[in-house]
Structure 1
């Protein structure tokens, strides 16, 4: 029952940065998904994959994982870089 801890990414459909300061603890799949023979939907008997916990800081998420003995990997947040560009650069 391993988990991964990461910072919530910015929603690509909106310009705002709401909820991007939260850290997420998400359990990894413990069994493979398989198609349902009747409906064809993909399913699994693993209910832990549906659990997503949010924390205000990375340290809180790591403390929760340590408290309950959950092996967790922390994925670092990629650096945010701004590409400063003037409108006139479009016509060069």
Structure 2
């Protein structure tokens, strides 16, 4: 049976907006250990499910898909937003 995790994408440190952070992602966990390629030395495996990422608008939609397809999932809770409120005048103290 396949195993996966469902999580909500956090805001990237390089972006100011919150675009696509409301979507939920289902990501499969790799069943094989990664091994270096003899020619290039890059790490890889034969498990192609580890390359697959599915986006869903809600957590319930992702859980319904996993239940329908027989995928064992665990949900990673969304990180709590930390607001750093400061005034422009604080730069000159």
TM-score under structure 1 normalisation? 0.91
Runs (4+) off by over 3 Å: 87-92
Report the aligned-residue RMSD: 1.2
Q: Which residue of 2 aligns with 1:75?
A: 76
Structure 2 unaligned blocks of 5 or more:
none
Query: 1:89, CA displacement in angstroms?
Result: 3.4
TM-score under structure 2 normalisation? 0.90
The aligned length equals 92
CA distance in 2, matches of 1:85, 1:14: 19
Structure 1 unaligned blocks of 5 or more:
none
1:1-92 mapped onto 2 (5 Å cutoff): 1-92=2-93
2:41 alignment partner, SS class? coil
